[in-house]
């Protein structure tokens, strides 16, 4: 996993780097889950989602918004992600386990995924982006 | 001070037109010299960005709790012409109708010998923190009523009394609510969370009235020195967050459809009279109503605990008032000598209507609307009253709280939750939270001084001090 929290007064700003777009989406997913929950999770339940969007940034924003929604509504802490990313579409399989406050409690409630500074850059041999979670 | 900012008075500063290209009006913000030390350049950029939006009237405004937010700065206020202006989720925030309410009790601190047990019972009665679920099982029909009727729905279901309704801003219900613009996704987030507090800076506090500044207003609001009060701070939960997310997608397209030039994508908006603008407003108002009902249900949970444990009557616990501090409203204001219909966005700002305004409850109208300003954990909260000055200068608006100065990660690095719990405990303030991390993130040092913020709006007359409340026990989400 390659993400780190950077300072932002009001919200949670994550800097994410990966070798390819699938890695970037995977690490962004982990960054969101690590913000919301603590402790380990096992990949024992599975949810599939499909997101469409006009740009890679729209797809990442859409994926994270969907992950937040599924996690909150299904009450699942996701720990594994599998992607198929094509032009204008992401298909993802999310795996995790039901939220248990004794194991996963202690995180921060995320209200939404911000568009602040959300731009995916190709830097030398890797992809990088900043994502802000509104908390 | 940041280059280009012009000082206009002891507490007033201006961003002149031209501070950034495309500004239609100046930016104006209110800060003491002390508070300028924590002013972020990013927040001023956001204030300037708002000044470029179509139909903005007079000024892009920010209160002394200004800090960096989503789209608008937190503490931002802007009014837009109804016919030519726009509405933007960036001027409301993800947590639609995040707000605060104050309840009085007939108790004094010496009646709280069982304070720990009371706090434990409140913690059990009000679900808090990430992943917390309501014990209520709302049907589809009940959720629809909650979004249409707001606090009235909760009272009709047995969670309160009729006085509660009259003592809420908008009487706890925006009539423009249109649940047709609340998606299935938003509804599915809303069903399991009715009557839950949430996490982050949301809280439930046992407080005591420590000081009265305005005897007449305090008497009118039913507040007296030494009285135990309860304060609730929360919003529209996942339902409101999803309404914001859903409509941002639509409004992003509306920006190009209506040829709106914006310096920041986070200000996505649509004309107030457009189908997209009306849809967001209807959905936002439905989420606002959900939030009022949510705080009303929590009020019932508090009353149930206190009546059981303290031997007081249900109706002895009285709602002073309930204010929204993240919302957009259609209001009429006197502008350049004429009464005009405008859309006022308050993003981390509180309505502060003065004496005689028709929207102020009849029993408070000679004093003005109660304004409730929560402090950060362990610090003072304040009760103020709305003024004519606010009506004339800020579209009837004032500050909403303390405003952060430390990021959550900085706060956690610098401050240990356990230490804060102990320090506050020594000061007689008990803290209960699902985890110590939640306490560290929201530690008093992570925020500006609520006293300094409130003194600026008091000195400017944007609202006037009525009473100071100090915490005795805190439940953090």
Q: What is the pLDDT of residue B422?
A: 86
* DSSP H or E run through A126: strand A126-134
| Closest by Cβ to B434, choosing from A5, A101, A115 | A101
| B129: closest chain A residue by CA | A109
The whole-angstrom separation of Cα A71 and Cα A17 is 23
What are the boundaries of each domain within chain A? 3-134
Q: Tokens 């230490």, residue?
A: B419
Contact A108/B441, CB-based, under 8 Å? yes
Count of domains forming chain B: 1
Smallest CA–CA distance, residue B316 to chain A, in Å, is 34
B224: phi then psi, degrees, rounded to nearest 5: -135, 155
Residue A63's nearest CA partner among A88, A35, A91 is A91
- Choose from A14, A100, A111 for mutation: most chain B CBs within 10 A: A111
Partners of A7 on chain B (C-beta within 8 Å) are: 407, 409-410
pLDDT in tens, A56-100: 999 999 999 999 999 999 999 999 999 999 889 999 999 999 999
Segments forming the whole domain that contains residue B159: 6-405+447-476
CATH number of domain containing B451: 3.90.1860.10
Rg of chain B on CA atoms, in Å:
21
Please report, for residues B16, B25, B26, B48, the alpha-carbon distance to residue B19 in angstroms, rounded to integers and kept in the order given: 6, 10, 8, 7
| Closest by Cβ to B199, choosing from A10, A109, A116 | A109
Check if CATH label 3.40.50.300 holds for domain A3-134.
Answer: no
Q: What is the pLDDT of residue B200?
A: 84
Cβ atoms of A16 and A32 closer than 8 Å = no
Residue A74 contacts B where some CB pair is shorter than 8 Å = no
| Closest by Cβ to B404, choosing from A10, A37, A73 | A10
- Choose from B42, B44, B70 for mutation: most chain A CBs within 10 A: B70
Smallest CA–CA distance, residue B217 to chain A, in Å, is 34
Contact B130/A107, CB-based, under 8 Å? yes
Partners of A69 on chain B (C-beta within 8 Å) are: 185, 189, 242
Q: What is the pLDDT of residue B70?
A: 86
Q: What is the pLDDT of residue B419?
A: 82
Q: What is the pLDDT of residue B438?
A: 74
Comparison of pLDDT for A115 and B52, the residue scoring more: B52
Residue A101 contacts B where some CB pair is shorter than 8 Å = yes
Please report, for residues B134, B208, B218, the alpha-carbon distance to residue B212 in angstroms, rounded to integers and kept in the order given: 37, 11, 7
Q: Is the pLDDT of residue A1 over 70?
A: no
Contact B129/A105, CB-based, under 8 Å? yes
> Is B419 within a domain?
no
ipTM: 0.92
Q: What is the pLDDT of residue B417?
A: 72
pLDDT in tens, B186-219: 999 999 999 999 988 899 999 999 999 999 999 9
**Residues of chain B whose pLDDT is less than 50?**
none
Q: What is the pLDDT of residue B449?
A: 85
Residue A109's nearest CA partner among B333, B269, B202 is B202
| Closest by Cβ to A112, choosing from B94, B133, B188 | B94
> Is B284 within a domain?
yes
Q: What is the pLDDT of residue B414?
A: 76
């Amino acid at each position: 996993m390659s993400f780190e929290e950077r300072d932002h007064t009001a919200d949670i700003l994550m800097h994410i780097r990966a070798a390819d777009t699938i890695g970037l989406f995977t690490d962004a997913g982990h960054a969101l889950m690590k913000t919301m929950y603590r402790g380990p999770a096992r990949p024992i339940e599975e949810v599939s989602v499909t997101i469409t969007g006009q740009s890679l940034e729209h797809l990442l924003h859409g994926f994270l918004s969907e992950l937040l929604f599924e996690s909150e509504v299904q009450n699942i802490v996701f720990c594994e992600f599998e992607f198929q990313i094509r032009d204008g579409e992401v298909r993802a399989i999310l795996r995790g386990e039901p939220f248990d406050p004794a194991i996963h409690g202690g995180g921060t409630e995320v209200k939404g995924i911000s568009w602040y500074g959300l731009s995916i850059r190709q830097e030398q041999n890797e992809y990088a982006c900043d994502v802000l979670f509104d908390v | 001070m940041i280059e280009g900012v012009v000082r206009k008075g002891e507490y007033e500063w201006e961003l002149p037109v031209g501070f950034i290209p495309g500004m239609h009006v100046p930016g104006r913000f209110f800060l003491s010299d002390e508070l300028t030390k924590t002013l972020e350049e990013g927040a001023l950029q956001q204030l300037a960005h708002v000044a470029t939006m179509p139909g903005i009237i007079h000024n892009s405004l920010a209160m002394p709790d200004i800090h960096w937010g989503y789209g608008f700065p937190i503490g931002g206020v802007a009014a837009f012409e109804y016919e030519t202006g726009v509405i933007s989720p960036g001027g409301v925030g993800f947590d639609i109708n995040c707000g605060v309410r104050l309840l009085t009790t007939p108790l004094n601190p010496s009646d709280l010998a069982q304070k720990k047990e009371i706090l434990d019972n409140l913690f059990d009665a009000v679900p808090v923190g990430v992943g917390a679920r309501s014990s209520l099982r709302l049907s589809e029909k009940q959720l629809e009523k909650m979004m249409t009727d707001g606090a009235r729905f909760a009272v009709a279901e047995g969670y309160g009394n009729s006085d509660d309704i009259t003592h809420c801003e908008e009487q706890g219900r925006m009539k423009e609510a249109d649940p047709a613009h609340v998606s299935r996704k938003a509804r599915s987030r809303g069903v399991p969370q009715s009557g839950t507090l949430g996490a982050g800076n949301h809280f439930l506090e046992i407080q005591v009235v420590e000081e009265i500044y305005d005897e007449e207003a305090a008497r009118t609001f039913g507040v007296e020195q030494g009285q135990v009060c309860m304060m609730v701070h929360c919003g529209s939960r996942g339902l409101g967050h999803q309404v914001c997310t859903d409509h941002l997608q639509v409004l992003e397209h509306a920006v190009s459809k209506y040829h709106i030039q914006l310096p920041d994508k986070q200000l996505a908006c649509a004309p107030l009279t457009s189908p997209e603008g009306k849809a967001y407003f209807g959905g936002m108002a439905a989420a606002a109503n959900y939030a009022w009902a949510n705080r009303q249900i929590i009020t019932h949970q508090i009353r149930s605990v206190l009546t059981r444990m303290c031997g007081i009557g249900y109706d002895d616990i009285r709602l002073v008032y309930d204010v929204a501090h993240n919302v957009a409203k259609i209001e009429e204001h006197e502008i350049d000598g004429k009464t005009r219909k405008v859309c006022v966005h308050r993003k981390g700002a509180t309505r502060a209507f003065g004496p005689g305004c028709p929207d102020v409850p009849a029993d408070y109208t000679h004093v003005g609307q109660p304004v409730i300003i929560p402090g950060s954990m362990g610090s003072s909260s304040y009760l103020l009253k709305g003024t004519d000055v606010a009506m004339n200068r800020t579209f009837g608006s004032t500050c909403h709280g303390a405003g952060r100065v430390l990021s959550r990660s900085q706060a956690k690095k610098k401050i240990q939750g356990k230490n804060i719990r102990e320090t506050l405990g020594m000061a007689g303030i008990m803290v209960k939270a699902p985890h110590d991390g939640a306490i560290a993130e929201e530690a008093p040092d992570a925020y500006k001084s609520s006293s300094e913020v409130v003194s600026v709006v008091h000195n400017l007359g944007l609202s006037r001090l009525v009473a100071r409340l100090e915490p005795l026990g805190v439940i953090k989400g």
